[in-house]
Structure 1
């Protein structure tokens, strides 16, 4: 029976690259999106042209319980063996200018949604000896200045990854990937980019393909669980600023 992979936030950027990679290795793909309907449908059409009926899209807001349940219900209909929790929110939350609703939204999307998607899809994944891969961030270990809640959410998701690996074994493997400088935020400044590159031993940014290749590696490695792999050009190995 054909195996399916769910990739959250798959319409663009890293999620898109992961979806394409898994599809090319033979999996059917569920493309989740929140607001990028046109991009999601375009990618879905592209993949279905390669292999008929091999891709579907699901719209859901992962900041709400209703949205999480909607996505889980759609994914559970398929023979699901891979869940990639890639969807994430990233924005400033300065200490003196952050409202409670900002905290709720960011922590729900970045932490609670991946956790409850894993929890609710566990029975389906268990049947298929599946794998969950959570997209983390190296700033889950050293905070990014003025992004405290984002950093907190990724640190918590790292612990959730380890906890889920313990709870879901031996039938489901759970791992994490912590990217460093892969794609710059849309509002990133050139001087900030240069400062970060100076901290990277390989002296360059990575690419979405580096993340997608690591996803494929973890999918193909049946004895790896409970691990966090940093894809950062050596940045965390030599020390880096949290700003």
Structure 2
């Protein structure tokens, strides 16, 4: 009898992360929901999943910018169910850093959550992932190819994560596959947008609509099942990364 697969999703309490957790759970995985500040949302999600299947979800708190807490997260994750088969590095700080206002704290927060945390978490879980012949999926961003104005630190961090994804795919093969997903506009930003701003965003997407968390979850499942794919980054952005913006 095959053991129940175990998946760790960072930033798994809300928005896209919560949908990834629910999808993995529906596929029969035991899930470990990492959170930083969203304790109530993480525990509520775990409680709901445990109602569906007892002892199938647990929560672990950690600040991914703190390497000691990353090590603690890796240890706790392995204690939950005794193994880790899938790591989804979804957690991400995202906010503008206009030139002239960038601080060391901005650098630490954005690179810490978007590339430092994922790298050191993969390192801490490398033996467990190797033992289970597991896989890693890193959430990147389509803006690594189309830089987002006033977000230079965030884009730099996501670009670095794309490089880490490719490098570790080679280094961890053949035991562990490492791939990435580069979302576009999946949900409206948490900050409010006026109607004109929303329309401008939709106009920049060839498919003329936002994506959904399900679009990301479906891509995640594809990569989990695609045993001959590693080192790849799949763009899930409605074509936004290839739109020229030219009017004629």
Task: State whether TM-score is above 0.5.
Answer: yes
Give me the whole-angstrom Cα distance separating, in 1, the residues matched to 2:56 and 2:157.
33
Which range moved further: 60-69 or 10-19? 60-69
Q: Shift in Å at residue 192 of structure 1?
A: 2.5
Q: Shift in Å at residue 76 of structure 1?
A: 2.4
Which of 195, 215, 218 is matched with 2:223 structurally? 218
Which position in structure 1 is the counterpart of 2:244?
239
Equivalenced residue count is 241
Give me the whole-angstrom Cα distance separating, in 1, the residues matched to 2:105 and 2:41.
28
Task: Give the secondary-structure state (helix, strand or coil) at the position aligned to 2:85.
Answer: strand
Which position in structure 2 is the counterpart of 1:153?
157
Q: Shift in Å at residue 64 of structure 1?
A: 0.7
Q: Shift in Å at residue 239 of structure 1?
A: 3.1
Task: Give the secondary-structure state (helix, strand or coil) at the position aligned to 1:80.
Answer: coil
Unaligned runs of at least 5 residues, structure 1: none
Unaligned runs of at least 5 residues, structure 2: none
Q: Shift in Å at residue 135 of structure 1?
A: 0.3
CA contact (8 A) 1:2 1:79 kept: no
Within 5 A, what are the aligned runs for 1:123-202? 123-190=127-194, 191-202=196-207
Which position in structure 2 is the counterpart of 1:54?
56
CA contact (8 A) 1:107 1:153 kept: yes
CA contact (8 A) 2:12 2:34 kept: yes
Which of 6, 26, 32 is matched with 1:30 structurally? 32
Give me the whole-angstrom Cα distance separating, in 2, the residues matched to 1:16 and 1:42.
11
Q: Shift in Å at residue 188 of structure 1?
A: 4.4
CA contact (8 A) 1:30 1:75 kept: yes
Which position in structure 1 is the counterpart of 2:41?
39
> Could you state the TM-score of these two structures normalised by the residue count of structure 2?
0.94
Give me the whole-angstrom Cα distance separating, in 2, the residues matched to 1:154 and 1:125.
23
